[in-house]
Amino acid sequence: MRLKDKVALISGASSGIGAAVARLFATEGARVIVTDIRENGGRQIEDIIRKDGGQAVFLKLDVTSEENWNRAVNDTVNQFGRLDILVNNAGMYQRATLDQTGVPDWDQVMELNAKGVFLGCRAVIPVMKRARSGCIVNMSSVSGLTGGSYSTAYNASKGAVRLLTKSIAVQYAAQGIRCNSVHPAPAETDMLVDVFPDQQSRSARIAEIPLGRFATAEEIAQCVLFLASDESSYVTGSELIVDGGLTAR
Ligand SMILES: NC(=O)c1ccc[n+]([C@@H]2O[C@H](COP(=O)([O-])OP(=O)(O)OC[C@H]3O[C@@H](n4cnc5c(N)ncnc54)[C@H](O)[C@@H]3O)[C@@H](O)[C@H]2O)c1
């Protein structure tokens, strides 16, 4: 098992990529803290993992709240005595060009996608420093690497995640903490409804992907697993692109 006895907290784990990561981590022997702002969905994932023979607890966590983060990290450490892995996965998409983006729209996306990751990293660093080991995986996107034709704040927020990740990697490597980002192209989750409102825009994007299809949430989860496991012990500050060849053109 690749994560045997590790304790892993995953944000936004009630659906999509976060749920796939939580389930995969549990099958690899991790004790998983399933967190989400949505309690019902989070408890369902907790149930599924337990029925599959894995270990999971659900904690309600709004990633935009510093108080929520401190409570979640304290509860985890009180219950398990450690916190080895943080996956900052919670996020939202917003389809809007610059002139369609109002200040409240910008603030909403930056608050969740960028500040949420900052708060998560800041909450776990003291615990990981004490342990002199730890691993953070931040969910960015191909939108954090390239400009968007129809998204603005989303790309800015995912670009922020990319460089926040590298700063953390540089600052805490000496304390045994690794930090990497993952950059998926579109993956088949609930979020895609917001990204591609109609079949035409969906088909146009698929046509740009050399592998000719969108990813599954499970395919993204496998890449998160690699970065969270000791197999990537020499990998920090890197960006793992999982895009079917989209940005290779
Ligand atoms: N699906 C894609 O095409 C794609 C591509 C690249 C990157 N991503 C990124 O992957 C991550 C997961 O997205 P997904 O595709 O699984 O979408 P999703 O909508 O299925 O999952 C997002 C999760 O975040 C949770 N969430 C929303 N606001 C929250 C908050 N304030 N606090 C805690 N949780 C909150 C939601 O309840 C949900 O469970 C996001 O960061 C997204 O930007 C997705």
Pair 155, 106: CB distance under 8 Å: no
Check: pTM over 0.75? Answer yes or no.
Answer: yes
What atom in ligand 1 is closest to the CA of residue 184? 6
Residue with tokens 């890449």: 223
How confident is the model at residue 29, as a pLDDT?
A: 98
**Each residue of 77-87: pLDDT tens digit?**
999 999 999 99
Distance from the first to the final alpha carbon of the chain: 36
Reported as a pLDDT band with limits 50, 70 and 90, residue 91 is: very high
Residue 217: alpha-carbon gap to chain centroid:
11
CA of residue 42 to ligand 1 center, whole Å: 13
In short, whether 36's Cβ falls inside 6 Å of ligand 1 is yes
3-state DSSP assignment of residue 174 = helix
Q: What is the pLDDT of residue 189?
A: 97
Phi-psi region of 237 (alpha: psi -120 to 50; beta: other; left: phi over 0): left
pLDDT for the residue numbered 28: 98
Best CATH choice for the domain 7-248 from the list 3.30.70.20, 3.40.50.720, 3.30.390.10, 3.30.70.1230: 3.40.50.720
Q: How far, in Å, CA of 130 to CA of 146, rounded?
A: 37
Q: Output the six-digit token pair for 85.
A: 């892995």
Q: Is 50 in the pocket of ligand 1 (CB under 6 A)?
A: no
Question: Backbone phi, then psi, for 244, in 5-degree steps?
Answer: 60, 20
- pLDDT on residue 31: 98
Instruction: Please work out whether the CB of residue 155 comes within 6 Å of at least one atom of ligand 1.
Output: no
DSSP, res 70: H
Strand order in the sheet with 239-242: 55-60, 31-36, 7-10, 85-88, 134-139, 177-184, 239-242
pLDDT per position as a tens digit, 185-198: 999 999 998 999 99
For the chain, the farthest-separated pair of C-alpha atoms sits apart, in whole angstroms, at 51
Q: Is 120 in the pocket of ligand 1 (CB under 6 A)?
A: no
Ligand 1 centre distance from Cα of residue 12 (Å)? 6
Cα separation, 146 vs 28, whole angstroms: 33
Determine the distance separating the centroid of ligand 1 and the alpha carbon of 174, expressed in angstroms: 31
Compute the distance from residue 37 Cα to the ligand 1 centre, in Å. Answer: 11
Average pLDDT score, the chain: 98
Catalytic residues: 154
Residue 167: what pLDDT?
99
The one-character DSSP state at 181 is E
